[in-house]
Amino acid sequence: MERRRIVIVGATSGIGREVAMELLRQGWHVGVAGRRVERLREIEALAPARVKHRQMDVTREDAPEQLHGLVEELGGMDVFLLCAGIGRQNPTLQADVELGTAQTNVDGFIRMVDAAYDYFRRRGGGHIGVISSIAGTKGLGAAPAYSATKRFQNTYIDALAQLARMQRLAICFTDIRPGFVDTDLLRGDKRYPMLMNPARVAARIVRALGRRERVCVIDGRYRLLVFLWRLIPRWVWERMPVRN
Ligand SMILES: NC(=O)c1ccc[n+]([C@@H]2O[C@H](COP(=O)([O-])OP(=O)(O)OC[C@H]3O[C@@H](n4cnc5c(N)ncnc54)[C@H](OP(=O)(O)O)[C@@H]3O)[C@@H](O)[C@H]2O)c1
């Protein structure tokens, strides 16, 4: 593979951390970012010559500056992968949960994806991957902000993919949409069916990036679920008690 440098934002735990580990095994140079700096240092300690880290909070205005600093330290970036995201069930509509989710998954998402787009525009091309979710397929009553922000992410990437073509830029996009994965994101919430192992999900993500897949739903069972959900008319969906 000729593309060997990736920056992963949201690499301190869960899916992002597993992707970082998998790519390190494959010999990539990896820039890792997130708020929990001690976890970033742990990853860097595994391969100091090939890992650089930056503490970064995507909700802060200085995050793009941090990204550019990390890219410089890494010696350039071929792939940008945004894994930072939060979400929880919130049927009581606590305002701080709903608004906080939008701050990270919408404001932070725009901030980081646009910063990566700008870098690749100036460099003449590149690859942007994001972890959205199958939750964006339909409005989920138990998690309104989460499902709405994930739909936002899907649409934003659709728009940027069109923009890149309009601007004749060689930037490609991979929108990764996993079903339930056994990570900290789900801990403390209810029980979840068809829970997937993060390392296996990471291996699938690495494959999707390698093949430059435009949209990747993980896994096959969830592909079927998404297909069926899309067939459900709104008036039926609104009457369905989807609890997870
Ligand atoms: N788990 C699932 O079932 C599932 C399913 C579909 C999609 N996803 C999506 O996958 C992505 C990764 O989630 P995960 O399941 O791996 O959960 P996770 O273990 O909680 O990982 C979330 C990552 O996001 C980072 N993050 C959160 N807020 C941030 C902020 N303000 N600035 C920078 N980094 C931030 C966290 O790092 P710090 O806390 O150190 O900043 C952490 O590295 C999320 O977008 C999530 O919506 C998850």
242 falls within a domain: no
Q: How far is the CA of 235 from the centre of ligand 1 (A)?
A: 32
Establish if 69 belongs to a structural domain.
Answer: yes
Cβ of residue 36 lying under 6 Å from some atom of ligand 1:
yes
Ligand 1 atom closest to the Cα of residue 105 is: 45
Domain assignment of residue 184, yes or no: yes
Nearest CA to ligand 1 atom 41: 35
Q: Is the CB of 83 under 6 A from ligand 1?
A: yes
Residue 146 is part of which domain span?
5-237
Q: Let me know if residue 92 belongs to a domain.
A: yes
pTM, whole model, 2 decimals?
A: 0.97
In a domain, 93, yes or no: yes
Q: Which of 185, 187, 194, 215 to mutate to test the pocket of ligand 1 (most atoms within 8 A of CB)?
A: 185
Dump the DSSP string for 159-223: HHHHHHHHTT--EEEEEEEE--BSSGGGTTS---SS-B-HHHHHHHHHHHHHTT-SEEEESHHHH
Q: Residue 5 and residue 113: Cα distance in Å, rounded?
A: 17
Tell me the pLDDT of the chain (244 aa) as tens digits: 455 999 999 999 999 999 999 999 999 999 999 999 999 999 999 999 999 999 999 999 999 999 999 999 999 999 999 999 999 999 999 999 999 999 999 999 999 999 999 999 999 999 999 999 999 999 999 999 999 999 999 999 999 999 999 999 999 999 999 999 999 998 865 678 899 999 999 999 999 999 999 999 999 999 999 999 999 999 999 999 776 5
Whichever domain contains 148, its CATH number is 3.40.50.720
Whether 243 is covered by a domain: the verdict is no
100 occurs within a structural domain? yes
Total count of domains within the chain: 1
